[in-house]
């Protein structure tokens, strides 16, 4: 309704004058004076009360926008409930699928009494040392090498055939060769995990170099920057979002290779514990070990997401 809407008046108000003969003030004037003020007040209150559809720093229509943590918790509880229902109804024999309660009790037993000659903390320490030690060396070598391959056609011609040749190979394919060369000590296990994580990191760093905007590089050159300054201060920072994504992918490859690496004369480790339990049909121990690996990997992925938000807040907003 327009702000100049004429309000209905009584007969006394509609008369040109009162009993004294003096003209009276009409109500439409008051309506025209106060209605816009009331409307502005209502709009202000609505803006304060209503929750905005997007938060500060977000963009309307961004794919996947919104908080999904509550949905994740509900979905996790739902899947655990389905698992418990299937075991409670004995749709699968407990030998092949124990209940969540049995798995949790076995986890507590392993944490207190150990399994296969070592405690749970000792198994975890051995596996985490292999995983993150290999991850450190893969990042130390893979990130600079990937950036240099992306910046140099000579290095790209040298290393591309080697990387593309071994990248599709499953780790079990070259595991016998690593054992022949390095033996069965910790060096062979970490080398196997290192090779599984190296290729994704190199490829992500190289892809990040190609995603840097050419305008940024040209501006740096126009301001007198040298080639190495452009690589270190422009290209490396511009490639950081892809590098962090590659690191997340690489750690996943590392966890999948861990079990294969701990097949080689290992005495401790989560992968070794799972393999040892599978030989004796200890399904509850196998599932407990799988859940431990999944939880640790998921926590590390959350940490990498946190680093992405802090180090590359511009990601997705170019």
Give the domain ranges of the chain. Answer: 91-311
Answer whether residue 289 shows pLDDT above 70.
yes
Answer whether residue 265 shows pLDDT above 80.
no
User: Given pLDDT bands bounded at 50, 70 and 90, which one contains residue 260?
Assistant: confident
> Is 264 strand, coil or helix?
coil
Answer whether residue 283 shows pLDDT above 70.
yes
The per-residue pLDDT for range 238-255, each reduced to its tens digit, is: 899 999 999 999 998 998
> Is 118 strand, coil or helix?
strand
In order, the DSSP letters of 157-218 are HHHHHHHHHHTTS-HHHHHHHHHHHHTTSHHHHHHHHHHHHHHHHHHHHHHHHHTS-HHHHH
Give the pLDDT of residue 37: 62
> Which residues are CB-neighbours of 267 under 8 A, at least 6 positions away?
117, 118
Give the pLDDT of residue 104: 93
Average pLDDT of every residue of the chain: 81
pTM beyond cutoff 0.75:
no
Average pLDDT over residues 115-138: 90
In the numeric block, which tokens belong to residue 266? 């290992």
The per-residue pLDDT for range 14-53, each reduced to its tens digit, is: 444 444 444 444 444 444 444 666 666 666 656 555 555 5
Higher pLDDT, 98 or 56: 98
Cα(231)–Cα(217) distance, integer angstroms: 9
Q: Quick one: CATH architecture of 91-311? A: Orthogonal Bundle (1.10)
Give the pLDDT of residue 64: 66
Give the pLDDT of residue 60: 56
Give the pLDDT of residue 62: 61
Average pLDDT over residues 195-217: 91
């Amino acid at each position: 309704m327009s702000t100049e809407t004429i309000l209905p008046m009584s007969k006394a108000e509609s008369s040109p004058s009162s009993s004294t003969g003096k003209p009276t003030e009409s109500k439409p004037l008051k309506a025209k004076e106060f209605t816009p003020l009331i409307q502005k007040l209502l709009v202000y209150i609505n803006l304060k009360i209503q929750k905005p559809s997007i938060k500060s720093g977000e963009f309307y229509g961004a794919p996947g926008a919104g908080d999904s943590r509550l949905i994740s918790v509900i979905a996790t509880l739902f899947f655990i409930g389905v698992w418990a229902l299937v075991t409670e109804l004995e749709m699968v024999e407990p030998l092949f699928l124990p209940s969540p309660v049995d798995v949790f009790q076995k986890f507590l037993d392993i944490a207190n009494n150990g399994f296969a000659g070592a405690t749970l903390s000792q198994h975890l320490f051995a596996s985490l040392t292999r995983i993150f030690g290999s991850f450190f060396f893969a990042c130390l070598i893979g990130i600079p090498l990937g950036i240099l391959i992306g910046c140099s056609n000579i290095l790209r011609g040298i290393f591309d055939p080697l990387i593309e040749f071994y990248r599709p190979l499953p780790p079990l394919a070259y595991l016998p060769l690593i054992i022949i060369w390095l033996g069965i000590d910790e060096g062979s296990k970490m080398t196997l995990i290192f090779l599984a994580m190296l290729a994704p990191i190199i490829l992500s760093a190289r892809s990040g170099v190609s995603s840097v905007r050419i305008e940024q590089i040209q501006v740096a050159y126009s301001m007198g920057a040298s080639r190495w300054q452009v690589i270190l201060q422009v290209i490396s920072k511009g490639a950081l979002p892809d590098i962090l994504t590659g690191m997340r992918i690489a750690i996943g490859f590392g966890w999948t290779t861990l079990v294969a690496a701990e097949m080689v004369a290992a005495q401790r480790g989560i992968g070794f514990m799972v393999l040892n339990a599978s030989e004796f049909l200890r399904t509850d121990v196998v599932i407990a070990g799988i859940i431990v690996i999944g939880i640790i990997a998921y926590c590390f992925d959350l940490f990498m997401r946190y680093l992405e938000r802090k180090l590359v807040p511009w990601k997705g907003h170019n």
